[in-house]
Structure 1
């Protein structure tokens, strides 16, 4: 045992020394770290606070008294299981000329990995997330410490602690906006009992008292960081979807295999990823303290590369685009981890530095012993100019909470948006006594920003009547008109004049006004506005996808509210462009009326939007249609336009099957009969592509009568290997026990290609009965090592197979080394076989430990890599063939697992571990789930999404498999990665080195500044 522990420590230490994501340099003092910063000319970094005065900072927020609040954690990454926890919420104030906070007060010190924080304008109340709730903490006696705690949001998931609720932002409208992070599942309950259910990346909003809870956007992977721009647009930071996203209310954004809502994913605004898997703490700079080149830019913390990235924001119509700029800050100290950024009231950039040798979950295992728990810093970055005289900061006129009202109203027009927002919220808190000064500014503002902020103060205290709104909706300023539309979107009901204004707004010549008006129509519009929205939708330029998507959401909302009117679409002839527009909208309407509309447009869909639109329309119709549209669909499928195009017909039949499964009903019998006929004809076709289509159709529709044909393909050595590999799992699926003998024969035939034997073993195991398990166990003794491992992994998927595997090893017919494979051992453990640990110990006695074997293997491959010749182009093609089925790199490949841009920064040791031992450090959201089906079959893979009555998974080949929920007997989530444990064995050793070299080349690159 001592030997095993020692070797494990040695292995871990070896990885730590070479992994660039584990700093090998010593911890530096704040003064020493400060010297490692590289900033543009004229900028300097000042230390605001550090350990031991603060812990490890996570989120920052300013209050109306000019104080900086910070949540910090020493518990991370493991939530405390004991009360009280040890994490803190602290308040920093009395900042000196050198930036130092001369006063630091601990407001609460019994928190559990607190992230999101928002001080409310009162100065005595603050909202903070602490596992598993959002609390209102209150200082009732004025001593600067919380003595009252109230839950306002409960039920927040925390299985993944690097992606929890964070980045609370109090918006123009008085709502609080927040991010919900990666992998966690939450049923959040507000103080008024309202609930929302969130899974992994999402954003949501609520009122400061915890009422009104509602989803805002859906998707993204792990949003961490949120900021508003002056027009009221909301942006988030993320690392595995897009580094910066401009949120369109109600939109769905891409994630790991999660679906969109039928309207497509919300548009992107950035084409680069700063070569990182850890981007966070987004903030937008408008102030004049920094030079012009640093205004209207986004600053973004990059905790993997120890940098602060910068992107200039330009626009095509209403659609923002992020242009990559040179890094704003680089640190030569890899312990620098900028997790949150805020522009302060003084115009400086404040940085929460989680200062740590290690930061990530993906990059370094959670269990790594090298995590620092003592150090944390907050920095202020200011512009001092290029001479000896510092550039003065444009500070606020007065403290927002206590200063003269006229001075605070003056600050509503301050160039720094942070000041404007603090002043606005403080005035709202003061109540109606401020209205005379606010209304004076509204009537005669110093600039458009003061008028906008004053508009919101007045609205939140005493809603503006039509007379007061008229000059705002008719303003020559596009920014003011934009906010006027947003203001109307937040009202529960609209007057006739207000309804006319948002109709006019959606036709506004300025696309940002039109997009905000679309949001208002989405929230409170009616069908009478559909023509105006449709006409604007049809005229949006192709380079403004944000406006187009917002208008599509508005049309979808109108269709849902006026189902009868929507159902009449297509009863009268429509121009093709309108047909296409309404078809796109119908795909997002999950009601029978959408199927009715699509049934009328079927004949035109392919000519309007290509085959993809036709197939999506067919699937949607099958899922939501009642008898009449289904009959129309069946009739259409039998017209010459469809029957003359086999590919189109097969695609339509598969789409009908998917839609029927999602709805939880059987495929119409007339369609099933047609599918059986087409599948049989296709399997007999000499055309290979058509054969493959027939194979997929027979499997999707489960045409049992096709089993003999498919078995013939799978066992025919004259067929291509690709054909046979595709046929084998279908053969098992359709044949069940009838396929056992033929599959077993393939496994044992030494003259069959090894990939065929492996796929046959996996197919045989999926049948999941004693006959199949015994056949596999009998084959393992004579199988080569790679195949033996595949058989062992396959057997370990079920209790019957696991028992057969142990019995075979005990009888001396297979090597006990198979039980040392991490994936095999973990699968057996999850089967809960009796006396398993004792049996494994007996069967592996005297063998080198699994860690010794892995260390030996890593050493062999490391040494081989150093001396091998490497071809990057070959490596790229091997990635496309073997990895791109699940991973995206450089925009190519599927996005089932994590995207791999910048993966070379992980270094050789970590990449060796990822490939050779993929289950050593697998994220909770990316683990294999095994399903036992009612027919006895076993299916496993990565769960991508659940839609209606089906679960969609990605199998080991990266293909999507749809499982009807009513056929699932049980499901078990494993600790294993869905990445095949023996993936490296599927490559020759030279191929392995080519691939490794290509991956190591994928490192952060210097940005090329874009021209404005």
Structure 2
């Protein structure tokens, strides 16, 4: 094969990210391809049976495609256990398979229905059965929940924000990841109906009954990871106009997570995420708990990120009733969509691998991952085991085994085994995982008849939390429960037990529990401030900096213990803001100057690339736009925050700041200094992505009070030490008697502080959320002002307005300021008191203002012009690195034949999301002598490889001198190069590139 042909093919492979063998993974794991795109293309989800049979949801519609007959479930079998699927069947044909659970002879599937030639009619949770084990479902799917997403939004866009993954917990519930399309009138097999605005987690029994919302206020989660103790984790995201950042979230039953109306401006009302992790796109999730895996990879949530080509491990540290976390790179693969594990410890990954936004029959594969020393051990055929053997399986160290034997016992209705099961729950020598599994198995088998034994276990501090959870697990089995054990649990020294008890009391539904809940519904001190959650206040903010302009900064930092250097985009959305902090200096009281670079920063976040000392984000030596070299500078890309701990001897900060030579001519930035990171600044992104364990108990207690409808107790508690919790609960109760009582309390009080709190509560109650009918969706950049997305007045609004106007007439200037603050914050729109919102005519959005999905949808409708695209391309930053014609200087990957390898959608994705596509061409080569080089992989064969660096210089290296070749951790190409273009201009550029064949 000629080197020219090799170069073209290798570049095409890099652009489309299809190779399963180019990934870099831990050396103690074995990663191989289990099945290719010939049998499992465009794998949107998968589930692995305990025996290792793999069910793959093939979705050739992807997230934005339309049409029927493009989905199926493929069953893959490795009959000789050599690590390759050697048998496959089409298990069932369903549209948009988005979630699978294999359990016994049943396969639960989340899917849409698209009749031939028609539009999608709905999304459903169904169950398929293969009783004769021939690898094909016995009939049509039996529906368990109908209408679990909104058909209109799926019809208009596709399935990109729809309901996705499903997973079963050891409590036997099926947990469903609902995207922010939400759903209207979802109905279970028992006739129960629910509607949910936005995303969250829904759960249902395996027979389709008892459907209920578990948590709410999530953006677009794709799956859930559930550990043996019923902790649940999601890798969701947010969009506040500053990026689609990933949030790692611990889901706590009844919790409100606030997207999009509360998480920014009403953070005190939510349970925050554990971390904001920057840009990405969370997909499949698994909690690994298998004894065949090394300890360092075991008992951790493993979260796939499609946008980062990575599966991550999150290391968890207990923090009260929740956790703090630390993310670690784990397995690098091409756009992972889902992950699961079987009973012998084989882990499988569904790799989307460049199948695009509308699916591709030639892209995608399934990977198999095992520890290097792993040995296959057949999983027993559970249907042939005795009850006694199944019960012993509850003592297994394998989570897969425990769940599967549990469900087999429940399928058999093996009540005769109940005594042996509860004995495990009572056995203090058994592992806690096994005791918890036994508790929930016992509860599922006996229902309310299990309550007596579980009440006894509620006195055992080792398993108290789970006994309490199991007791209140089914709303149809709580009527006869005594409240005293739950009151005692609320007083526990274990915060997890307290939270479980508060949630349980809200579920039991007896209003006499209200005083006990009010006693713990006390928000942390920081949440009581009448001015709302405090955000960072910058003590320096620059004007917009453009071109060659350099600004001087000179700030007194006496008593400043922490300093955050902040770079914001100047607001032009041009994507060329490769900014630099230039020669920042710390000065002691004696006048001694020390370059800030001598200190090690605490953290550094940025829009893309890396924050680097002495270099800009492209890796070039740092210099100003005019070419002046910068010795002790810091290169970064907005939006960025660099945080330093400041030793006490330094009293001043001085710096010259401006743009580096890597910036576009039209780039602009603003610089700021602050003692704390601002909200929306990256990782953490602010209060909504900062762990706040003290708020969790009062949060769930307040929601329990609302669930109980305990308005009288809350009103009575206004004059008690539970005042703040009572008002917190009351501001969620849209009830005329509540409003009238609050107004009466206000008028009868002389306590100015209390009166202000009541005014705040009434301002929150002035509007409520309009009933959701599914006719609209907030799209990818929703209004985050809150506290409601579609606020409407209601019956008691006139009384609240009258009180505000009466107060205004006699108010002092300070009090008018407070009334104005409330009216604005809660968007009351009171003429003469604060702002009255006007409808602003929408202006044409730029690419940088749109989500990738919206750009792709727009590209379908926009017809590009080749000539205009060629002219536009000549002025874009892409041209600095990529060659268009044969005579161009060779730097990054050639584009002169890109149209022959990629369609319009793939080219657009490569520009918008280079980490998933073009960035794979940029590699790190480590040589056997320890040296390394970075650049575009031009060609590679058995004898040599050729790498071209950013200067356009090609280097040939014999393969005998090459230790490893892997995707570079730092990519040269950023994701915002065409942000300043309109949709029409972007379509022109894509049409031009597609013409290059």
C-alpha deviations, 1:496-542, integer Å up to 9, x for none?
65322222222221111111222212212433222322333338798
- Specify whether residues 412 and 570 from structure 1 end up closer, same or farther in structure 2 by C-alpha distance, changes over 3 A only: closer
C-alpha root-mean-square deviation of aligned residues, in Å? Answer: 4.4
Partner in structure 2 of residue 485 of structure 1:
469
Shift of 1:107: 1.2
User: Runs of 5+ in structure 1 lacking a partner?
Assistant: 1-16, 385-389, 662-666, 679-695, 701-729, 734-762, 767-789, 795-822, 831-836, 838-847, 868-897, 923-1012
Residues 431 and 533 (structure 1), Cα distance of their counterparts in 2 relative to 1, 3 Å cut: same
2:819 matched residue in structure 1: 649
Aligned to 1:70: 56
Q: 1:610 to 1:100 in 2, by over 3 A?
A: farther
What's 1:982 paired with? none
Residue in 1 aligned with 2:600?
none
Change in Cα spacing, 1:142 to 1:494, as seen in structure 2 (3 Å) is: closer
Contact in 1 for aligned 2:454/2:467 (Cα 8 Å): no
Structure 2 residue 467 is matched with structure 1 residue 476? no
1:485–1:304 distance in 2 versus 1, CA, 3 Å? closer
Separation (CA, whole Å) in 2 of partners of 1:283 and 1:541: 36
Say if 1:565 and 1:238 are closer, same or farther in 2 by CA, change over 3 A.
Answer: same
Shift of 1:282: 1.6
Q: Does 1:431 align with 2:413?
A: yes
Residue 219 and residue 605 in structure 1: after superposition, are their counterparts in 2 closer, same or farther (change >3 A)? farther
Aligned-partner Cα distance in 2 for 1:191–1:46: 41
Shift of 1:281: 0.9
1:913 maps to 2:905: no
CA contact 1:63–1:422 (8 Å) conserved in 2 = no
In structure 2, runs of 5+ residues without a counterpart are 1-7, 114-121, 239-244, 527-689, 768-792, 846-853, 883-911, 920-970, 988-997
Pick one of 452, 458, 461 that aligns with 2:436.
Answer: 452
Q: What is aligned with 2:138?
A: 147
Judging changes above 3 Å, is the alpha-carbon distance between structure 1 residues 628 and 222 closer, same or farther for their aligned structure 2 residues? closer
2: distance between equivalents of 1:346 and 1:536? 45
Task: Name which of 700, 720, 726 aligns with 1:574.
Answer: 720
Of 173-182 and 533-542, more deviation after overlay is shown by 533-542
2:868 to 835, 848, 853: 853
| Bigger Rg, which one | 1
Match of 1:337 among 335, 338, 363: 335
Question: 1:858, 1:913 within 8 Å by CA — same for their partners in 2?
Answer: no
Query: What are the equivalent positions in structure 2 for 1:806-817 lying under 5 Å apart?
Result: none
Deviation at 1:461, TM superposition (A): 1.5
Is 2:685 aligned against 1:620? no
Distance 1:920-1:614 versus aligned 2 partners, 3 A rule: farther
Using a 3 Å threshold, how does the CA distance of structure 1 residues 614 and 294 change in structure 2: closer, same or farther? Answer: farther
- TM-aligned CA distance change 1:489 to 1:137, over 3 Å: closer
The answer to whether the 8 Å contact 1:317/1:512 transfers is: yes
- Per-residue deviation, residues 663-703 of structure 1 (Å, max 9, x unmatched): xxxx6xxxx5xx3xx7xxxxxxxxxxxxxxxxx63x45xxx
| Secondary structure of the corresponding residue to residue 175 of structure 2 | strand
For 1:697-730, what per-residue CA distance to the aligned partner results, in whole angstroms no more than 9, with x for missing partners?
Answer: 3x45xxxxxxxxxxxxxxxxxxxxxxxxxxxxx7
The alignment's TM-score, normalised by the length of structure 1, stands at 0.59
Q: Distance in 2 between matches of 1:580 and 1:903?
A: 51
Q: What is the alpha-carbon distance in structure 2 between the residues aligned to residue 183 and residue 559 of structure 1?
A: 25
> Which residue of structure 2 aligns with residue 246 of structure 1?
250
The yes-or-no answer on 1:43 pairing with 2:188 is no
Distance 2:759 2:198 in 1: 31
Tell me, what secondary structure is at the counterpart of 2:407? helix
- Matched with 1:315 is 318
SS at match of 2:292: coil
Distance 1:96 1:199, change over 3 A: farther
Note the 1:680-759 alignment, pairs <5 A.
Answer: 697=835, 699-700=836-837
Rate the CA distance shift 1:26–1:79 in 2: closer, same or farther, 3 A.
closer
Match of 2:659 in 1: none
- CA pair 294-270 structure 1, distance change in 2 beyond 3 A: same
How is 1:392-791 mapped onto 2 (pairs within 5 angstroms)? Answer: 392=375, 398-432=380-414, 433-444=416-427, 446-463=430-447, 464-477=449-462, 479-494=463-478, 498-538=482-522, 545-546=692-693, 548-559=695-706, 561-563=708-710, 565-566=712-713, 568-569=715-716, 573-575=719-721, 578-596=722-740, 598-599=742-743, 600=745, 615=760, 617-621=762-766, 625=796, 633-638=804-809, 640=811, 642-654=812-824, 658-659=827-828, 675=832, 697=835, 699-700=836-837
User: How does 1:286-301 map onto structure 2 within 5 Å?
Assistant: 286-301=289-304
Is the alpha carbon distance of 1:199 and 1:79 closer, same or farther for their aligned partners in structure 2, counting shifts above 3 Å?
A: farther
SS at match of 2:493: coil
Match of 2:111 among 120, 129, 133: 129
Deviation at 1:328, TM superposition (A): 1.0
Distance 1:649 1:141 in 2: 70
* Per-residue Cα deviation, 1:158-214 (whole angstroms, up to 9, x for no partner): 233233322211223332111122447654333344333345533212222323333
| Pairing 1:181-260 to 2, within 5 Å after superposition | 181-183=179-181, 186-240=184-238, 242-256=246-260
Partner of 1:647: helix, strand, or coil? helix
Residue 376 of structure 1 corresponds to 364
* In 2, Cα distance between equivalents of 1:322 and 1:921: 40
When normalised by structure 2's length, the TM-score is 0.60
Contact 1:486 1:516 in 2 (8 A): no
> Residue 229 of structure 2 contacts residue 433 of structure 2 at CA under 8 Å; is this kept in 1?
no
Alpha-carbon distance change, 579 to 467 in structure 1, aligned in 2, over 3 angstroms: closer
- Partner SS for 1:650: helix
* Change in 2 beyond 3 A, CA 1:908/1:64: closer
Q: Distance in 2 between matches of 1:582 and 1:865?
A: 61
Alpha carbons 1:482, 1:512 under 8 Å: kept: no
User: Matches of 1:899 and 1:506 in 2, distance apart?
Assistant: 49
Aligned partners of 1:627 and 1:74: how far apart in 2?
53
Deviations 1:437-482 (A, max 9, x none): 42443444733322221222221111344541233101131x4533
Secondary structure of the residue aligned to 1:212 is coil
Deviation at residue 88 of structure 1 after TM alignment? 1.9
Matched residue SS, 1:475: coil
Within 1, Cα distance between the matches of 2:350 and 2:187? 30
Superposed displacement of residue 216, structure 1: 2.5
- 58, 65, 74: which one aligns with 2:44: 58
How far has the Cα of 1:47 moved from its partner? Answer: 3.1
Larger helix share, 1 or 2: 1
Q: CA deviation at 1:102?
A: 4.2
Cα shift at 1:284: 1.5
Q: Is the 8 A contact 1:201 1:219 kept in 2?
A: yes
**Measured at CA, do residues 57 and 314 of structure 1 come closer, stay the same or move farther in structure 2, by a change above 3 Å?**
same
Do the aligned residues in 1 keep the contact of 2:308 with 2:916 (CA within 8 Å)? no
Q: Is the 8 A contact 1:120 1:127 kept in 2?
A: no
* Counterpart for residue 330 of structure 2: 328
CA contact (8 A) 2:224 2:284 kept: yes
Q: 1:504 to 1:537 in 2, by over 3 A?
A: same
Question: Using the alignment, how far apart are the partners of 1:319 and 1:218 within structure 2?
Answer: 17
Once the two structures are superposed, residues 209-230 of structure 1 have per-residue CA deviations (whole angstroms, 9 ceiling, x without a partner) of: 3233333322322101211122
- What is the DSSP-based 3-state SS (H/G/I as helix, E as strand, rest coil) of the residue aligned with 1:41? coil
Aligned-pair distance for 1:323? 0.8
Pick one of 102, 110, 120 that aligns with 1:119: 102
Question: C-alpha displacement at 1:616, in angstroms?
Answer: 5.7
| Alpha-carbon distance in structure 1 between the residues aligned to 2:511 and 2:914 | 45
3-state SS of paired residue (2:44): strand
Tell me, in whole angstroms, the C-alpha distance in 2 between the residues paired with 1:152 and 1:466.
27
- After TM superposition, give the deviation of residue 66 of structure 1 in Å: 4.8
By relative contact order (CA 8 Å, sep 6+), the higher-ranking structure is 2
